[in-house]
């Protein structure tokens, strides 16, 4: 990446998406509605995986998740779930459980392709991903946390790719992204450096900067789902544990 100064302003924690939604309360605004929609668009798949692990078929899970979001984005779900409001992850799962237990009426389900679609969800990709998940039917919550962590990392990689594209470093990112989470000497730097026309040392410096930016974006993305950014380290530990557990 480029100099540290070019990315520093983007590392500062400003009002997060989830804080914006919470502060809006009943009087939602276009900004808070968009922030909530972006969060849901990013993290809908863990809900689908959770419902499937409850024993629902692919079709029923699609209907349930779509109906849930139709209600979730229209109704004020912020009341009555105060304990979960600090983390969007906990809040969203608690809201889904509440919906499944108390508000789901299959006869009123919004079928795929019917009614108003509030989010564009890739059901085909979701089903393929679900079949790749490690089987653990006894603990849907653990699967939910794991898929949440994976969705978070996908979002961070996408943000970093966009930044590199804007900075004219798309080719560097394409060759270096495999180094971001791997150990220092796991992948062959010499091969990647040759492909980029760089000295190996220069590539190592570039990867170091990419890793630093990756960590900053990871912390920022986690903060976007928290009411209090002081909880970032705790949430990061929880999500890393979900990936290895």
Could you read off the pLDDT of 123-167 as tens digits, one per residue?
667 777 776 666 565 688 988 999 999 999 999 999 999 999 999
pTM over 0.75: yes
Half-sphere CA count of 173, side-chain side, radius 13 A: 19
Q: Which residue's structure tokens are 């849930």?
A: 68
Rounded Cα distance, 70 and 108, in Å = 12
Q: Could you tell me the residue range of the domain that residue 64 belongs to?
A: 15-113+123-244
**Does any domain span residue 210?**
yes
**Does any domain span residue 135?**
yes
- Report how far Cα 87 is from the mean position of its chain's Cα atoms: 13
pLDDT confidence of residue 45: 92
Domain count, the chain: 1
Backbone angles phi, psi at 77, to 5 degrees: -90, 5
Contacts of 148 (CB under 8 A, 6+ apart): 43, 46, 89, 239, 242
DSSP-derived 3-state class of residue 190: helix
**Does any domain span residue 7?**
no
Question: Which pair of tokens denotes residue 108?
Answer: 């009123």
């Amino acid at each position: 990446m480029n100099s540290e100064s070019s990315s520093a302003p983007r590392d500062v924690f400003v009002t997060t998406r989830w804080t914006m939604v919470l502060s809006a309360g009943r009087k939602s605004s276009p900004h808070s509605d968009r922030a909530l929609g972006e969060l849901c668009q990013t993290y809908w798949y863990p809900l689908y995986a959770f419902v499937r692990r409850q024993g629902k078929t692919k079709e029923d899970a699609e209907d349930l998740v779509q109906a849930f979001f139709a209600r979730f984005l229209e109704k004020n779900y912020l009341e009555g779930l105060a304990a979960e409001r600090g983390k969007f992850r906990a809040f969203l799962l608690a809201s889904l459980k509440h919906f499944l237990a108390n508000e789901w009426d299959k006869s009123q389900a919004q079928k795929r392709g019917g009614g108003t679609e509030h989010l564009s969800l890739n059901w085909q990709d979701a089903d393929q991903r679900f079949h790749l998940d490690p089987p653990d039917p006894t603990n849907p919550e653990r699967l939910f946390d794991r898929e949440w962590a994976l969705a978070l990392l996908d979002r961070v990689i996408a943000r970093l790719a966009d930044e590199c594209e804007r900075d004219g470093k798309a080719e560097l990112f394409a060759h270096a992204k495999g180094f971001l989470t791997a150990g220092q000497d796991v992948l062959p730097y010499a091969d990647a450096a040759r492909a980029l026309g760089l000295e190996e040392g220069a590539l190592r410096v570039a990867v170091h900067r990419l890793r630093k930016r990756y960590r900053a974006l990871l912390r920022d993305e986690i903060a976007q789902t928290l009411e209090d950014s002081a909880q970032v380290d705790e949430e990061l530990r929880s999500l890393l544990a979900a990936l290895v557990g």
